[in-house]
């Protein structure tokens, strides 16, 4: 469940206003050691700006990227999940929509963000637990 991941990693989400500059977004990502920021206008989520968006902007426009705004480069198609969704659902959404970050929405409010790294970490922990249980069952039966 997504809430389990948020309980462990925390629910802090770094946001940015869509009129902020590309440079401010890049600095904020570096400052907080995150790969994406949720673009919000008040409580309304209007996009996500990621490292990938920044690289694409530089590749497309060169030095002009530094004068662009978050709204110029952000991904506008937002795919969200709720805290009670499963890891499998999150993985499916990430794969189907080719995104690496899913904002977590509860009662219409942004309550967290799930990254592909969070999903991989959780899945590895789940597989390790399953492996240990199977090993214990095998040892107990012999």
pLDDT mean over 26-49: 94
**CA angle, 107 then 111 then 116, to 5°:** 125
List, in sequence order, every residue forming a beta bridge with 124; answer none if it has no partner.
Answer: none
- Tell me which H or E stretch contains 89: helix 87-97
Return d(Cα 16, Cα 92) in angstroms, integer: 27
More confident: 117 or 138:
117
pLDDT digit string (tens) for 80-121? 999 999 999 999 999 999 999 999 999 989 999 999 999 988
Write down the mean pLDDT value for the chain. 90
pLDDT at 79 over 90: yes
Q: What is the CATH number of the domain that holds 78?
A: 3.10.580.10
Parallel, antiparallel, or unpaired: how do β-strands 109-115 and 101-106 relate? antiparallel
Residue 11 confidence (pLDDT): 82
CA 93 and chain centroid, separation: 12
Q: Which structural domain, as residue segments, surrounds residue 28?
A: 2-141
The tally of domains found in the chain comes to: 1
């Amino acid at each position: 469940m997504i809430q389990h991941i948020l309980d462990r990693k925390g629910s802090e989400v770094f946001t940015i206003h869509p009129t902020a500059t590309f440079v401010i977004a890049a600095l904020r990502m570096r400052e907080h050691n995150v790969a994406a920021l949720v673009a919000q206008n008040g409580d309304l989520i209007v996009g996500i700006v990621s490292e990938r968006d920044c690289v694409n902007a530089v590749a497309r426009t060169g030095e002009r990227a530094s004068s662009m705004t978050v709204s110029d480069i952000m991904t506008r198609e937002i795919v969200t999940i709720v805290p009670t969704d499963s890891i499998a659902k999150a993985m499916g959404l990430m794969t189907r929509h080719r995104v690496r970050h899913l904002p977590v929405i509860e009662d219409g409010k942004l309550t967290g963000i799930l990254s592909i790294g969070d999903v991989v970490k959780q899945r590895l922990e789940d597989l390790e637990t399953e492996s240990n249980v199977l090993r214990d069952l095998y040892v107990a039966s012999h």
